[in-house]
Structure 1
Amino acid sequence: MSREDFKALPLQKKIQTLYADGLFVVSIRYYGYKVNLYLLGDDYIEVFYNHKLDRIERIEYLNRSHTRMKFYLDQIQLDSI
């Protein structure tokens, strides 16, 4: 599935795709979110879960230039950075 195809999916389909075809990598706490990082094909995808509201609020491709990267890099070695 291409990035554009994945981005065009509704949230529920993105969730289903990640749980069926993705590989869970790590989870971090980021402000009010628990962010789960998945590997789907060659791409890393973040799932932002709001535990106070008990819902997934957004799913997006990992932005490797974001300051949030330091939280991941403290825990794991990401390939192809």
Structure 2
Amino acid sequence: MIAYTEFDELTLEDKISTLYEKGTFVMAIRYYGYKINLYLLGNFYLEVFINHKFSLIEKIIPLDHMHTRMKFYSDQIKLPKEEL
């Protein structure tokens, strides 16, 4: 299992490969100009921001449980609560 700190040090290309090979796709949402794919990798969730206009993955970031995007996810699935 890969830790987030190790994942975060990878290049964008290596992050994409790691998610494709080891991650589990959970769901996708539309958010402004992006399609955001939610993945589970080990014990953490990641958001993959895809710009459809350019067919490009722009960034991969950890899921922010406090962001307003959580409403889009929680309307469709039940995510475990983050431990404080």
Q: TM-score range by the shorter chain?
A: over 0.9
Q: Deviations over 1:23-80 (max 9, x none)?
A: 0000000000000000001101000000001100000100000000000001101123
Amino acid across the alignment from 1:12:
E
State the AA in 1 paired with 2:12: L
Identity %: 57
Instruction: Name the Cα RMSD after superposition.
Output: 0.8
CA distance in 2: counterparts of 1:16 and 1:9, whole angstroms: 10
| Aligned twin of 1:77 | 78
Q: TM-score, normalised by structure 1?
A: 0.96
Aligned residue pair count: 81
Shift of 1:2: 1.6
Structure 1 stretches of at least 4 aligned residues deviating more than 3 Å after TM superposition: none
Task: State the match for 1:52 in structure 2.
Answer: 53
- The answer on 1:61 being equivalent to 2:58 is no
3-state SS of the aligned residue for 2:76? coil
Equivalent residue letter for 1:18? L
Query: Mind listing any 5+ residue stretches in structure 1 that lack a counterpart?
Result: none
Counterparts of 1:1-81 in structure 2 under 5 Å? 1-81=2-82
